[in-house]
Chain A
């Protein structure tokens, strides 16, 4: 599975959009991009995933570049409860067993 690179930390003002970048320049054609977050010391929580098209759900939007070498997770209206560590993961979809979490981006939402 491809490795990912994320900034170690970011701040975002409450109510503004939080844009979290991720580089995955060695991603293979059959590897999906997944985003999880971990609030405080709880177990990680699934947010969204995609292959090459942009995706949106009730939590966030995922923008994947055309060459698939990078992606951005967008939280459209960040709240204080979105303060967490966000992990970008790439892996083979339904057949891939392992998630490699890396160290993620610590997002702090500021009042």
Chain B
């Protein structure tokens, strides 16, 4: 039981390049979330998915797209990366009752 996994762990992009961050959970949870964390800041919600096939915007959705193709996986796509998107990205999935969120190890993204 791995919990929440994310790939890749590190990535460097040039401005304008695209990439997809992958997240998977093996806890059979309905909801999944994507956060970003800038240096010295708390986490900010980008997008979330309450169930398979549904997605909603969070606090900072601009510049991102998401896809919830099945219950296990929730991907985050940057179509045209910008330096302002340099951040650490965390995927999370709440447990029963939404009280405890289980976080992945994070993806450290640098956009040059």
Contact = CB atoms under 8 A, between A and B. Distances in A.
Interface of A: 32, 34, 36, 41-46, 49, 87, 93-104
A57 to B, nearest CB: 11
Contact of B42 (A96, A97, A98, A102): A102
Contact of B45 (A45, A99, A104): A99
Nearest to B31: A97
21 contacts: A32-B99, A41-B88, A43-B104, A44-B43, A44-B90, A44-B103, A45-B103, A46-B101, A93-B97, A94-B99, A97-B56, A99-B45, A100-B42, A100-B59, A101-B35, A101-B42, A101-B43, A101-B44, A102-B42, A103-B42, A104-B42
A94 B100 CA distance: 10
A43 B42 contact: no
Nearest to B49: A97
A10 B78 CA distance: 37
Given A98-B59, A99-B45, A44 B101 contact: yes
Nearest to A8: B40
B104 A49 contact: no
Interface residues of B, number: 28
Contacts, number: 59
Interface of B: 4, 31, 35, 40-45, 48, 50, 56, 58-59, 88, 90, 92, 97-106, 108
A46 B101 CA distance: 7
Contacts of A100: 42, 45, 59
Contacts of A97: 31, 48, 50, 56, 98
B58 A98 contact: yes
A103 B37 CA distance: 10
B50 A103 contact: no
B5 to A, nearest CB: 11
A111 B4 CA distance: 33
Nearest to B103: A43
Most buried by B among A43, A45, A94: A43
A6 to B, nearest CB: 10
